Amino acid sequence: MYCSLFAPHQALADPLLARLPDDADGAHDLAHLVRVWRNVQRIAAEEGGDRELLLAATVLHDGVHVAKNDSRRSQASRLAAEQARKILSSLGWQTSRIDMVAHAIEAHSFSARIAPQTLEARVLQDADRLDALGALGVARCFYTAGQMGNALYDPFDPQAHERALDDQRFTLDHFKTKLLTLREGFQTATGQQLAAQRHARLLAFREALLEEIGEAPVR
């Protein structure tokens, strides 16, 4: 069904994908999982890591969907880790390896604020956060904001010079509250290099948008 989207570990991916729920949104769907896996492969090629553990953690890391504006948002990665434990246990995985996958899933989330303790957890966190940067980060940001009914920006004060930032109302504010801060938190050297490139794309988009609405960009 999924062809070779998760090559060269498709045989491992298939039974995991079959157990995922169907309620993922467009920012956390199959395409997102494929992109994160490609990021994982790119980072792991330089940094190392157990590919089987990384594949399982990648496929299952968003296994429980919690909306961005849900009060349980900070618990999403823990819920996904619990689900991953059940799935991998049913497939006969060793407890020690299940624990490693679960930790990587728990630690990947920005909102969970759990420090990654293993190489696999660091690789997955970097791979997932790369998808929140660059052109894809822009696309996902505005997609999610549209789902929540947010405005593009505050027409009276787009850059929040005289008001508090509020990314629950204004999408452009999310660049300052989160997206433009992500580059500093990358765990691996390879992830840091890739993040710097995508960070520059975020800045370029923000500056272009501000110019088009008649604002002088202020970093």
Condensed to tens digits (0 to 9), the pLDDT of residues 41-66 reads: 999 999 999 999 999 999 999 888 76
Residues in CB range of 5: below 8 A, 6 or more apart? 13, 30, 34, 37
Spacing of C-alpha 181 from chain mean position: 14
Cα distance between residue 56 and residue 37, in whole Å: 10
Q: How confident is the model at residue 144 (pLDDT cuts 50, 70, 90)?
A: very high
pLDDT value at 71 more than 80: no
Tally of structural domains, the chain: 2
Task: Fill in the DSSP letter of residue 173.
Answer: H
Residue 25 inside a domain? The answer is yes
More confident residue, 123 or 3: 123
Q: What is the mean pLDDT of residues 20-30?
A: 82
Check residue 77 and give its pLDDT: 87
Q: Last residue of a domain, which of 114, 142, 158? A: 114
Residue 125 inside a domain? The answer is no
Q: Looking at the structure, do residues 108 and 138 belong to the same domain, yes or no?
A: no
Q: Looking at the structure, do residues 9 and 81 belong to the same domain, yes or no?
A: yes
- Model-level pTM? 0.91
Residue 124 inside a domain? The answer is no
Lowest-confidence segment of 14-18, 25-29, 96-100, 138-142 by average pLDDT:
25-29
Check residue 68 and give its pLDDT: 65
Torsion of CA 144, 164, 131, 203, to 10 degrees: 120
The boundaries of the domain holding residue 106 are: 1-114
Condensed to tens digits (0 to 9), the pLDDT of residues 148-201 reads: 999 999 999 999 999 999 999 999 999 999 999 999 989 999 999 999 999 999
Phi, psi (degrees; rounded to nearest 5) at 170:
-120, 120
Residue 122 inside a domain? The answer is no
Q: Across all residues in the chain, what is the average pLDDT?
A: 91
Question: Measuring CA to CA, which residue among 36, 112, 50 is closest to residue 81?
Answer: 112
Q: What percent of the chain has pLDDT over 90?
A: 75
Q: Looking at the structure, do residues 211 and 142 belong to the same domain, yes or no?
A: yes
Condensed to tens digits (0 to 9), the pLDDT of residues 99-110 reads: 999 999 999 987
- The enclosing domain of 186 has a CATH number of 1.10.3210.50
